[in-house]
Structure 1
Amino acid sequence: MKYISYNNHSFKKTKYYGRLSKAQQDDFDLLSNIFYFKTNNYVLDQLIDWDNLETDPLFRLNFLHKNVLSEADYQQLLSLYQAGASIEVLQPFIELIRKKTTPQIPYDEKCFPTAGGERIKGLYRSFNNVISLFPDPMLKTCHAYCSYCFRWIAFNNSEVQSYTSYKDPQTPVTYLKANPEINETLFTGADPLTLTAAKIKEYIDPLLTIDSVTTIRFNTKALTWWPFRFTTDKDAKNILELFKHIVASGRTLTFCAHLTHVKELQNDNVIEAVKNIQATGAKIICQGPVVEGINDTIEDWVNLWSQEVALGLQPYYMFVELNHNAEASFRIPLAKAVHIFQEAEKRVKGLQQPFNGPVFMNDVHCVSIDEVTDDNDAKQFALKCLASPYAESEGQVKHIPYDKDTRSAGNLVEMFMPEEHSKP
């Protein structure tokens, strides 16, 4: 299959746009002019159930839903549009909504590596032994976009990309050599595996000259958004050879697949891609968020984890959506997330370990959540800091009042920030 991508304009020229109801078409027309939209022919042809769009999780995963906006903004926008206002006329209002829904991501200055007093662009170190690397071309796009992605602001935004990335492949070398405790480099993005193998290799080879770097990791959605990347694409052989090259250097190559629903793995193309990746010596681990309307049942996670294990993949993290978007989101009540994780884990326990979750990743701390009962038989949420740029924070447990309906644990950055580093 030849890769064909579609944006909000070109999708409307496909036969699939005509299969949307009038309400779904209105939603698509409006929302895809606020947020970036991208899909491809594989997703359209083989993943989405076009006869059951209202309940299809893969449609919800790729196509935006009105709950990404506040009810008031959505209704006002829809009313104006249905009254005949063009997208051009609505543009000022759209820009206001876009600003309101821009993710507010917490950072800590400690996480930005420096050299000579200047920040090294494109490097982010939230944990002691791991550093995230953002080469410029890896921030640009994915094979298709997830509707709940909080990094949408970086897509097609040259200013954001320039400020948060590096172009020279040698950029991280000096810092890594000066900090040998860093043994894992993480490439994320957007999606690093949208690039050609030759371009990726340019950024990998300098790292292989550093003895202290023992693990190379890719965070990617390519496995299920475009499995042909590892099977029949003209560059498929090259990317698999690159994986072998990394493994042959003595490094551990971790292929971290971002998965949301078992339907993504129930496809012969994906199964073939998994086998090809595994044959290179790469280790495939899996992570993804629990999100409303897509995978927020116990059965969803039992099925997903079971299929991962059946394919020789390692379930790794179940994430909880953070409140990066103050207007609306795909978050579910924390009590429901904990219940889903605990019950699903019981039913697949023994297949493969470990399972980690539910876990918040707030770009500073990695925090797990659980329910506990105190001495007075009162329920609480127990929050444990699993990893942090501050060693003294790791392992700390904080308790907050139990509320079966709350979708927020509060400000986790401040909660686990050592007092001497807290802002007054």
Structure 2
Amino acid sequence: MKFKSYTSKTFKKTTYYSNLPVEERKVFDVLTRVFHFKINNYVIDTLINWQKVPNDPIYKLVFPRKEMLHINDYLKLIEIQESGSETELLIFINHVKNKMFPKINYNENCVPIHNGSLLKGAYRSFKTTLALYPNPMVKTCHSYCSYCFRWVTFNDYEMQNASSYDFPLAPVSYLKEHKEITDVVFTGADPLIIKADTLKKYIDPILDIESVKVINITSKSLAWWPYRFITDVDSYELLNLFEYIISKGKHLNILAHFTHSQELEGEIIKEATQRIKRTGAIIRCQGPLVRDINDSTGAWVNLWTKQIELGLIPFYMLMEADHNKESCFKIPLDKALHIFEEAQKQTSSMSRTARGPVFVNDVHKILIDGTIDINDQKYFVLKSLQAPPYTDGEGSIKLLQYDKDTKGPENLFELFEEKQIDTISL
């Protein structure tokens, strides 16, 4: 299959669009004026069950939903689109965009300083980990997920350039100086959207750093475009790059992003995963709990079961960060914990490799580790799995007053602030 991408304009020319229910076309027309939209022919032809639209989970995963806006804003957009002028509509669209601009939490202390300057395109998430954002990797993905906050960078070249680096050697001296960093994470948007030879330019300099033991590549390519590893013009070069990384004595993790078991159905995904595994790379799977898409025990039983069948390793069940102002993607902590615990009971013991539910905030990677009753009061037990190098809170435990409707992560930001880092004895 040859890759073909659709924007909101070109999708409207397809029979898929013309066959949508009238209400869904209306939603699509107005919301794609606010949010970026991108889908490809594999997702359209293979992953979405069009007979179940608008309730198909992959459809919900790619197509914007009206709940992403405040109901008053949505109704106003519809009203202007149907009876107002284009100028009036553009003004209100910009107003809505400004309101919807997500608050992206990051900690300034995690941006490395090297030789007196900020190390552009790098983020020291945790003591042993450095995340890298080479410029070609931050530009786009094979398709866009409706819940992803990174939509703010798409088509914003100024923001892309400000948060990434171009010179492949840029992080090398910093990494050599900080030998405690053992893991490097190449991330973006999606690193595997770019050509294999470009990807190698950025990875190759890291391979000669002895203290770096693990190369991680985060990607949703396996879900959105498995042909990346089979029929793309440089698919063999990409697989050869994986073998090359391992030949240099590094452990290679493909951190594959899967949200629903439908992304793992079919022979093409099976062939793609087999080809990757034959290189010696390990595929670990992570994905968020997303309201109305996979927020059920059955959805995660099916997801983990399919991953194990394919020889993949369940890694993280993430709590949806949900920078969307209307919080239409989040679910309560209590429900997330119930889904995780029940799904693990109903799947192979191999699914015990998954940790969850997990939040990643601006300071810690936080595990919701259960609940506990103390003096007739119920609490969520939260554990810091990883913490930045300037803190000593890794492994610390905090208690959050139980409320079945608590969604976070605001409570968690406050609870794990640096000044509050101390271990609670239970």
Give TM-score scaled by structure 2 length.
0.95
Residue 34 of structure 2 corresponds to 34
SS of 2:259's partner is coil
Structure 2 counterpart of 1:17, one-letter code: Y
SS of 1:219's partner is strand
Q: 2: distance between equivalents of 1:184 and 1:281?
A: 17
Structure 2 counterpart of 1:274, one-letter code: T
CA contact (8 A) 2:239 2:276 kept: yes
Is residue 245 from structure 1 mapped to residue 244 from structure 2 by the alignment? yes
Is residue 16 from structure 1 mapped to residue 22 from structure 2 by the alignment? no
Is residue 183 from structure 1 mapped to residue 182 from structure 2 by the alignment? yes
Q: 1: distance between equivalents of 2:379 and 2:207?
A: 46
SS of 1:342's partner is helix
Q: 1: distance between equivalents of 2:316 and 2:248?
A: 28
Q: 2: distance between equivalents of 1:420 and 1:332?
A: 26
Residue 151 of structure 1 corresponds to 150
Deviation at 1:375, TM superposition (A): 2.9
Residue 286 of structure 2 corresponds to 287
Residue 78 of structure 2 corresponds to 78
Deviation at 1:323, TM superposition (A): 4.5
Structure 2 counterpart of 1:251, one-letter code: K
Q: 1: distance between equivalents of 2:391 and 2:312?
A: 30
Segments ≥4 residues shifted beyond 4 Å: none
Q: How does 1:33-112 map to 2 (within 5 A)?
A: 33-82=33-82, 84-85=83-84, 87-112=86-111
Residue 113 of structure 1 corresponds to 112
Deviation at 1:133, TM superposition (A): 0.3
Q: Which runs of 5+ in 1 are unaligned?
A: none
Q: How does 1:22-421 map to 2 (within 5 A)?
A: 22-82=22-82, 84-85=83-84, 87-389=86-388, 390-419=390-419
CA contact (8 A) 2:391 2:418 kept: no
Is residue 5 from structure 1 mapped to residue 13 from structure 2 by the alignment? no
Counting matched residue pairs gives 420
SS of 2:15's partner is coil
Give TM-score scaled by structure 1 length.
0.96
Q: 2: distance between equivalents of 1:64 and 1:323?
A: 14
Q: 2: distance between equivalents of 1:7 and 1:358?
A: 33
Structure 2 counterpart of 1:152, one-letter code: W
Structure 2 counterpart of 1:10, one-letter code: T
CA contact (8 A) 1:286 1:316 kept: yes
Q: 1: distance between equivalents of 2:277 and 2:150?
A: 29
Q: 1: distance between equivalents of 2:148 and 2:159?
A: 16
Q: Which runs of 5+ in 2 are unaligned?
A: 422-426
Deviation at 1:351, TM superposition (A): 2.6
Q: 1: distance between equivalents of 2:109 and 2:252?
A: 27
Q: 2: distance between equivalents of 1:316 and 1:296?
A: 17
Structure 2 counterpart of 1:164, one-letter code: S
Q: 1: distance between equivalents of 2:413 and 2:125?
A: 12
Deviation at 1:175, TM superposition (A): 0.3
The CA RMSD over aligned residues, in Å, is: 1.5
CA contact (8 A) 1:393 1:417 kept: no
Q: 2: distance between equivalents of 1:86 and 1:196?
A: 43
SS of 2:18's partner is helix
Q: 1: distance between equivalents of 2:255 and 2:375?
A: 42
Structure 2 counterpart of 1:278, one-letter code: K
Structure 2 counterpart of 1:339, one-letter code: H
CA contact (8 A) 2:24 2:54 kept: no
Q: 1: distance between equivalents of 2:161 and 2:141?
A: 18
With over 3 angstroms needed to count, the CA separation of the structure-2 counterparts of 1:232 and 1:299, relative to structure 1, is same
Q: 2: distance between equivalents of 1:58 and 1:377?
A: 43
Tell me the percent identity. 47
